[in-house]
Structure 1
């Protein structure tokens, strides 16, 4: 065999002899990427530790005494590239921005804005004087999406580079970075193990030589080294959605579906009832816009931001050694670390939230039936009732009794009819009727806000009462080579193989990240609504010489909100988006090589295959080395093989497994003592660590459960909004409305259905949790992973040096739904018959996927020993196939693929390697495992608070939709206008909804079972039934009561209002008679109408007081929870003050068409109702 001819016998995945770095950096198809991933998952195929020194000389062409020539070294360096680990590509900023601006709820809001603009455009094209409501709504929705998107982008960019300064945040320690050994391992020229990671005659790249001396031949450099493989593997893993992300996505699907469904339904109904197609389209758009939760995006943003600081505060200790039936399995791996003692004592977890079983993402959804039932079926209906009450009161006060309103819509909106009589015979002009109508809008709005006061308090808790929760919201004998490669030969090899560094994985362009933040999730809802309002305004402008700018303003506001939130989240993501940043810190900067018989200290990236390398104690192995001589050499392989003690390295072949043999030292491991000399056998991505890194870099990880939930909810709410909007559109056409009016109705309905406050809630919830975890010494990189931690059912943690040697002790465990005393030291550990098993890595290598699945299914306690990084990844994937939510804890680079693949990876901040910190979702800065308990509680709290906020925000949908329904079906003056709806969704509801993100955990939160993402949804039937079918109806009744009262007080009894709409809205009719024969001009009627809008608005606000209080808890009563949430208390005062300001501040009649009212209240009824219903429906 000629010199260098054996190099092609050792080729690892992701590289080729001819392709070098160019192939790695080129674009790969999915099939090629999958093949590389499969290759990286295989065990290290390395035989250099078995070769004699003569065979090494023949294979690498290295003079064992003089080393490589300078020219040869330069040649190899040019071929293989520098001996360094390559960073991954990054996601373009514009992608991040677009993600924030058009993702999730933002797209719904964008849709709403577009629909509003469309409606306005249709109105403008068909009407000489189109009403600008839709234009304002479209502008507002677009502004909301833009503001929220920019805010989200800013927040994401702020945290995307969080690991760049991580070295300044954690103590500098000797990381047993590759094999997990806690003691230095001896390195000798003797082959001692078949496993190159276990043999003592190989020293690995980036490990430290802590004592002694050694000389070796470089066998791998850069990405070809073992450490390079690990880096490539870790960086290629694609992180999926966390449970909370899936929940939010699920919620988005729900909201989208509901909005579309309701919009279409109203569209069809409008056509059936004789409304023109334009009116039906307006109804469709209005329904869809109304269903989009504009505030939820901002809420999640703020909640996640604040919770990041909290994780750096507490030091609680825990390891899950025994779990509940939902926590199916414990997989412990060999790795000893210097960590604090661990306990399962519920110190900071004494509260109810830590006593609950882990959330099952399959069943415990963020939005489930109970939440939907409560928000829509109960709270929302209450709000709608309150709004309609205010609506009918105002109309009745103006002479239009409820019966008079039936069928009056055409006459009411007839500009030419100025003598429409009310219930008393009084004639009303078009302007007068519109004033009354807009007053009703205001009344309906105020009614919703009032009811939302109670709704906000109700949503504080899920299980406890508000009184319990409180209102606190705050490595021979042969001839040893001595010459090494010649410089020329080294240069030749470098040219062939490329630098000794790891190849960076592909990254998401920044523009992709930006677009995700700007247009993903809830932001898209805001954009949609904004565009709808712009469209409505455009239609109005095309058809009316003097179009009302209301839709334009609304579209601008919604777009601004979406842009701001999207930009903020893009900024936050940009700060934490580079997973491979610290791999450069892992690669040794210098390496001592022997070329042409002379020792030279060169850049580690220039190390080539065949180089003769010497390492001593304290050095990090620059590449995969075949040890040819050693003097007391020990290498720390803890991060690669999990050994807790340093492993001796000798030239002797000791094991068939290259990871177990003693004559190979691996890239990035540390030589802790002695000296050794070895031949480089792999560099860069060809190393064992490089394979691991490549494996991690190409792993595809799915969405987090909460992300799927939120996306699903967005789809639902979008669908419902569109359906109802179209239904109203059709109804409008059926009832004889013009197509322009139908389009306006469609936009109004869509606008009313979309819960705008949910956008803010979602955007607040995750950062808030991240801040709280930061205060507990937990650095959360993936904010959505915190909620995943609250849903975990399987934990994979270290065994060697932790559980077995009492470095970390389990003192309590959850089993059979009870907490038991436990001890896991070696002489006291016990297991259940036929439920526990021990699997060696060699046995695991022979198991098929089906066999592994069977073991995982029928054994609740499994110990996996002597496993490779690839096997750890396979174990995690097996657990996930069983439907488990998997958490992985680790500190070595060998755990990086598993950390990346797990639903949530937890790394050690002090003893953990840089790679494990980069691959993990959460870092325990003080290695205190008790922080995991805090994380579980925080994860459950996120889910709870999101659920509460959704329940609160959904309740106002009913009182916002029902006015359109009565307006179309009964032809009565519009009880609640789109401007007042916007005042509710983005005014009075936004702070209370966000305040629920600050709600403290309920006392039983840690006693619950883990949430099943498949069954426990974020939005379920119960939530919808309560929010819409009960509370929402109560709010609607309150609003309509105020509406009819005001109209009756003005002479328009309810019967007079029936069918009066056309005359009421007729600008030319200035003698419309009320129920008493008094004539009303158009301006007078509009004043009364706007007063009704105000009354309806105030009625909703009043009912929302009680709704907020009852939403404080899910299971406890309000009395158990207490009123300790200061933000919630502030929210109550804020929405009250805002409602009062909008109702009584001079100029509001011009700006928002809201007129002052007499005082009244009805929130106590809702509060008493909700407290009673808490005993029958304990969980939303």
Structure 2
């Protein structure tokens, strides 16, 4: 049976270099040009294949084939078949405009990019026929020998040879924030991608040099394997898309049932001919389909995406706005999202004194303090000794970012933290390196876990400064510096230092130890050359100075964001490539979990069944040292539990989980293009707090969708009431409202106020509510009751009274109701006007569900006010423009009739305010009991 890729990589890592070269039929001279060409033909180019993209035409057409869009196409056909050509064309025009707008939004938000290719370098330096040459990275083949230098992107999975201080940033694969040292002998750390003599495609060399032999290229690399896993995942339908389909089916059933009822009533009660009854029923079906709903939803979602963009969240699909509001679980990585991704020194421990270091990240707005008081290192010899060591025993440069920029480092995060520490202490690094010129460096390696530099002081003596892991430091130290005095290092000292280190480690802090010694005249090194100054001769009889403790600090905003998630009943599951101790420390510190949380490592996760994992994610849990398949599996099991999952990520390793999640959230600053392509949302500030703001916006969008759904459906009852009257009177009362007048409400006067409702801000307390259940629907019993039994019924009574009021003024009941002419036009016009002015009150009432409108500001929503002004102006145009009068069967109203219309909204608004007051009091009483 063929071995899997991970097993092969491990075999390659363990193999003897000579045997491995023989296996790949290569050597130190590299491949010949002929052999390289043959292998290029066999294995293909070293590129990441993109999934075949659908044609733009298909993407465009999708915007016209949703269930609601199909309903509108059919409605247009029905209207034309019923003899209402203008109505049919108008409905189709709405569908076309909405589809084009939706496609434009989608196309503008998500442009296809070859992001995987961007992560690979353009050229690589290889040996061919014994000579170095630059070739395009696409031409690299298995068995090629190539060079690696600081700053290079690794072009293939490869075995390293002759590494010199080689460190590689593998965060795009592992999520681990600290660069990994690469060495020639086989060593295997924790988790996947942990072979220390293997480098992986898509990672970056941060320091050092090496030569390497390509083991796998293109889609066969670990990078390519993750890309394949990502592409194989099909994005599921967004909850809002499913809900709109459900709503469409509901509205279709309602409209058809009403149409059938009217058809039967027209035949058996009014005694209409079958043909005329059928056309009449078709008209009622069209009247009960809210043609303005789809464009209103689309525009409202677009407004939501614009508001979220101002909150640093860019959405690539309109429907994903609402998904955020339904989120129940956030699977979040740690580095850069919950933390700042900037290693910060926050404690210094010296045998005679302890210090706190204020300020976080790679900025110098901090101080060194002891017992809350600022410290001047010039007056603290022991502290000064440690700081000088940190300054000169350092190869990293840090360019401190401005207020709106991220600091840039050239080197390792650990040394960057030391650079910032010395700047906080006011040390001039350039002056110190001039005062203590470096003569030699003994670079860090994973065997001894130390780095030393040999310098010369002002007295001409050699000074050896060493930093590294505490265990390694204690093995080379036999003296200790305490309160300015050097004395022997005792066993009690060692035990105390180790206990201090353990205490800080439990808090998730990494420890770095410092030591030094001065080579005096009695030291054998004093008379020897630098060539004789080796690890064995230099790193011994050292003087222990102290410890520096560091961590990647949480973002300042994260604490409040986590509290908001708890208020909103949203669970956060940390999924990180970092160590279990660090992950637990950060999670408990920022309040994601309690100290009793279960921490599951990647190795433990491999042994768990799906059922065990499904049960584990129901409780407090952290996942550490995870691989790409792990994060994908965690998201999947959460979804099996019925959770709506948002997953964050920035690396290639996160892409499969981002695509699998209900909403994938990529980091815009540190995120790879791969992650951004797989995600639904991109955070432009990489800030977890922005996710919480986006969730609040998502909940607000859903609430607003319900508000304007209620608003739109409210007008359906008064639109249907005239036809009911017509049927119940067996045609004695002419239709008080024509079909074209109904269309005026659905596509004209209702549209702008409905859009205004879509811009409402969040009601107070919206984040104190739990996420809405998966089985809840936009059109629920509350909305049906309000639309048809409360708002709609009141509007129906008012508009019907208005119709009979005009006829009464013109002689009814003494004079029969006219089915045409000036009086009929005036009566239908005031009926239309009464519906519109009732909708004005409805627009104001729908702004809140329970709260008083006065609490959010009666005139705070300018778009609703503008929409109300426009609909009054539109009604006036229909009344007084002769051409429109003919099309819509309208006529002018007199002053008294206008006064009647303007009096309608006030009592309707106050009645609803009174109802909300009663509801609030009942709710408060229930909460008290």
* TM-score (norm. length: structure 2): 0.70
The 3 A distance-change label for structure 1 pair 925 and 1085 is closer
Distance 2:760 2:636 in 1: 35
Per the alignment, residue 1040 of structure 1 pairs with 800
Find out whether 1:1020 has 2:780 as its counterpart.
yes
Alignment partner, residue 316 of structure 2: 781
What are the within-5 Å matches in structure 2 for residues 359-758 of structure 1? Answer: 491-537=37-83, 551-578=84-111, 581-655=114-188, 659-735=193-269, 736-758=271-293
Per-residue Cα deviation, 1:1060-1109 (whole angstroms, up to 9, x for no partner): xxxxxxxxxxxxxxx35x8x9x8x84433332221210110111111111
Aligned-residue offset at 1:1111: 0.5
Residue in structure 2 matched with residue 988 of structure 1 by the alignment: 749
Judge conservation of contact 2:756–2:867 (CA < 8 Å) in 1: yes
Q: Give the 5 Å matches for 1:1075-1154.
A: 1075-1076=814-815, 1085-1122=820-857, 1123-1154=859-890
**Aligned pair partner of 2:12 in 41, 48, 53:** 48
1:957: which partner in 2? 716
2:32 is matched with 69
Residues 1:684 and 1:1174: Cα distance change in structure 2 (over 3 Å):
same
Aligned partner of residue 749 in structure 1, secondary structure: helix
CA contact (8 A) 2:192 2:626 kept: no
- Please give the alpha-carbon distance, in whole angstroms, between the structure 2 residues aligned to 1:1177 and 1:717: 28
- Cα offset for 1:10? 6.3
CA distance in 2, matches of 1:719, 1:533: 18
Q: 1:705-854 counterparts in 2 under 5 A?
A: 705-735=239-269, 736-799=271-334, 802=338, 805=551, 806-808=553-555, 810-812=558-560, 813-814=562-563, 825=586, 836-854=597-615
How far off its partner does 1:43 sit? 8.7
Superposed displacement of residue 617, structure 1: 0.9
What is residue 449 of structure 2 aligned with on the other side? none
Segments of structure 2 that go 5 or more residues without pairing to the other structure are 340-507, 509-550, 573-583, 924-929
User: Structure 1 residues 1112, 592: CA separation in 2 closer, same or farther (over 3 Å shift)?
Assistant: same
* Deviation (angstroms), 1:845: 0.7
CA displacement, residues 342-371 of structure 1 (integer Å, 9 cap, x when unaligned): xxxxxxxxxxxxxxxxxxxxxxxxxxxxxx
Which structure would you say has the larger RCO, counting Cα contacts within 8 Å and 6 or more residues apart? 1
TM-score w.r.t. structure 1 length? 0.55
1:557-607 alpha-carbon deviations (Å, 9 max, x no partner) = 111121122122222223344555322211211111212211121111111
Using a 3 Å threshold, how does the CA distance of structure 1 residues 55 and 640 change in structure 2: closer, same or farther? same
Alpha carbons of structure 1 residues 1094 and 1014: separation in structure 2 relative to 1, 3 Å? same
Distance 1:978 1:830, change over 3 A: closer
Deviation by residue 1:138-172 (Cα, 9 ceiling, x = unmatched)? xxxxxxxxxxxxxxxxxxxxxxxxxxxxxxxxxxx
1:744-765 Cα distance to aligned partner (Å, 9 max, x none): 2122111211122322221111
Contact 2:331/2:648, CA 8 A, preserved across alignment: yes
Q: Shift in Å at residue 996 of structure 1?
A: 0.8
Structure 2 counterpart of 1:864: 623
Bigger mean CA offset, 913-922 vs 667-676: 913-922
Q: Shift of residue 691 of structure 1?
A: 0.9
Change (3 A) 1:579 1:664: farther
Cα distance 1:654–1:892, how it changes in 2: closer, same or farther (>3 A)? same
Q: Residue 348 of structure 1 corresponds to which residue in structure 2?
A: none
1:897 aligned residue: 656
Q: For 1:847, what is the secondary structure of its paired residue?
A: coil
How far apart are the structure 2 equivalents of 1:730 and 1:45? 75
CA distance in 2, matches of 1:877, 1:43: 25
Question: How many residues were matched structurally?
Answer: 684
Distance of 2:782 and 2:588 partners within structure 1: 50
- How do residues 1160-1171 of structure 1 correspond to structure 2 at under 5 angstroms? 1160-1161=900-901, 1162-1171=904-913
Contact 1:974 1:1089 in 2 (8 A): no
How far apart are residue 779 of structure 1 and its match?
2.2
Distance change >3 Å, CA 874–CA 974, structure 1 → 2 = same
Shift of 1:1141: 2.0
User: Paired residue for 1:1049?
Assistant: 809
| Contact preservation (8 Å) 2:73, 2:91 | yes
d(CA) in 1 for partners of 2:293 and 2:196?
59
Q: Distance in 2 between matches of 1:981 and 1:905?
A: 42
Q: Secondary structure at the match of 1:599?
A: strand
1:897 positional shift = 1.2
Taking a change above 3 Å as real, the CA distance of residues 871 and 993 of structure 1, as seen in their structure-2 partners, is same
Q: What whole-Å deviation, never above 9, does each CA across 1:1093-1142 have from its counterpart, x for those lacking one?
A: 21210110111111111001112111112121111011111111211221
Aligned to 1:362: none
Is the 8 Å Cα contact of residues 745 and 964 (structure 1) preserved in structure 2?
Answer: no
Question: 2:232 and 2:588 mapped to 1: Cα distance?
Answer: 42
Give 3-state SS (helix, strand or coil) of 1:1094's partner. Answer: helix
Which residue does 2:891 correspond to in 1? Answer: 1155
CA contact (8 A) 2:172 2:202 kept: no
Contact in 2 for aligned 1:11/1:686 (Cα 8 Å): no
CA distance in 2, matches of 1:683, 1:825: 37
Query: Structure 1 CA distance, aligned partners of 2:8 and 2:303?
Result: 43
Provide closer, same or farther for how the CA distance between residues 1085 and 798 of structure 1 changes in structure 2, counting only shifts above 3 A: closer
1:104-156: CA deviation from partner (whole Å, max 9, x where unpaired): xxxxxxxxxxxxxxxxxxxxxxxxxxxxxxxxxxxxxxxxxxxxxxxxxxxxx
Distance 1:755 1:1047 in 2: 30
Cα distance per residue 1:481-534 (max 9 Å; x no partner): xxxxxxxxxx11111111111122133332221221123243333222211122
8 Å CA contact 2:166–2:205 kept in 1: the answer is: yes
Q: Match of 2:256, SS?
A: helix
Please tell me whether the aligned partners of residues 47 and 658 of structure 1 are also in contact (alpha carbons under 8 angstroms). no
Q: Which residue of 1 aligns with 2:763?
A: 1002
Q: Distance in 2 between matches of 1:945 and 1:829?
A: 32
Structure 1 unpaired stretches of 5+: 1-7, 13-41, 74-490, 538-550, 1054-1074
Aligned to 1:726, what secondary structure does the other structure show? helix
Say whether 1:923 aligns with 2:658.
no
What are the superposed Cα offsets for residues 290-324 of structure 1, whole Å, 9 maximum, x if unpaired? Answer: xxxxxxxxxxxxxxxxxxxxxxxxxxxxxxxxxxx
Distance in structure 1 (CA, Å) of the matches to 2:250 and 2:316: 29
* Distance in 1 (alpha carbons) for counterparts of 2:919 and 2:780: 13
Contact map agreement 2:567 2:769 (CA 8 A) in 1: no
Q: CA RMSD in A?
A: 2.7
Shift of the alpha carbon at 1:920? 1.9
Q: Which has the larger radius of gyration?
A: 2
What secondary structure does 2:734 align onto?
coil
Q: Partners in 2 of 1:755 and 1:680 — Cα distance?
A: 62
State the shift of 1:800 in Å. 5.2
Q: Distance in 1 between matches of 2:668 and 2:157?
A: 27
Q: Is the 8 A contact 1:1091 1:1155 kept in 2?
A: yes
CA distance in 1, matches of 2:108, 2:760: 28
Q: Per-residue displacement from partner, 1:533-564 (whole Å, max 9, x unpaired)? A: 22222xxxxxxxxxxxxx11111111112112
Q: Which residue of 2 aligns with 1:125?
A: none
**Partner Cα distance (2:200, 2:880) in 1:** 76
CA distance in structure 2 between the partners assigned to 1:521 and 1:508 by the alignment: 21
Contact 1:757 1:993 in 2 (8 A): no
Aligned partners of 1:43 and 1:793: how far apart in 2? 37
Structure 1 CA distance for aligned equivalents of residues 300 and 38 of structure 2: 56
